[in-house]
Amino acid sequence: MARFLLDRSLGQRALVARLRGEGWDARTLAEEYGDERAQAMPDEEWIGRGARSGFVLLAKDHRIATRPLEAHAICHHDARVIVFARGDMTATRMGDLYLEYSEKIHQVALGRGPFVYSIAAHGLVRKRLNAP
């Protein structure tokens, strides 16, 4: 079963509680590294740490695949990342999408990284990484 690590942009309570309630093995950055460290941790650091610990990374910002530092970290650490196609969703809507596509998310989570998938109302789409 895949283990998921939620970026701080996804919140600390509602979404992770909902996923756990549906049987997901999910943790927040604050739970994994402490609240103070999680708030200060650059994206490329949490990507590396999370990937090395075997987590599938859940993030809100789809631009993670195109920003050079983050894309390089994803490639370098063979990270498996799932992001939202839109960043303006509520925790309820994000949870709805995760649960609607839970089977597909868990299926792609078993794959080898590096990859970034974007999730939206129409499903999951693999994104191109802006890295060598």
Check pLDDT > 90 for residue 39.
no
pLDDT level of residue 25 (50, 70, 90 thresholds):
very high
> What does the pLDDT read at residue 11?
79
38 strand-pairing partners: none
pLDDT level of residue 102 (50, 70, 90 thresholds):
very high
| For residues 79-104, average pLDDT | 91
Q: Give the count of beta carbons closer than 10 Å to the beta carbon of residue 81.
A: 29
Q: How far is CA 62 from CA 23, 36, 66, 68, 126, in A?
A: 25, 24, 8, 13, 11
33-41's contacts with Cβ under 8 Å and 24+ in sequence apart are: 38/8, 39/8
Q: Is the pTM of this model over 0.85?
A: yes
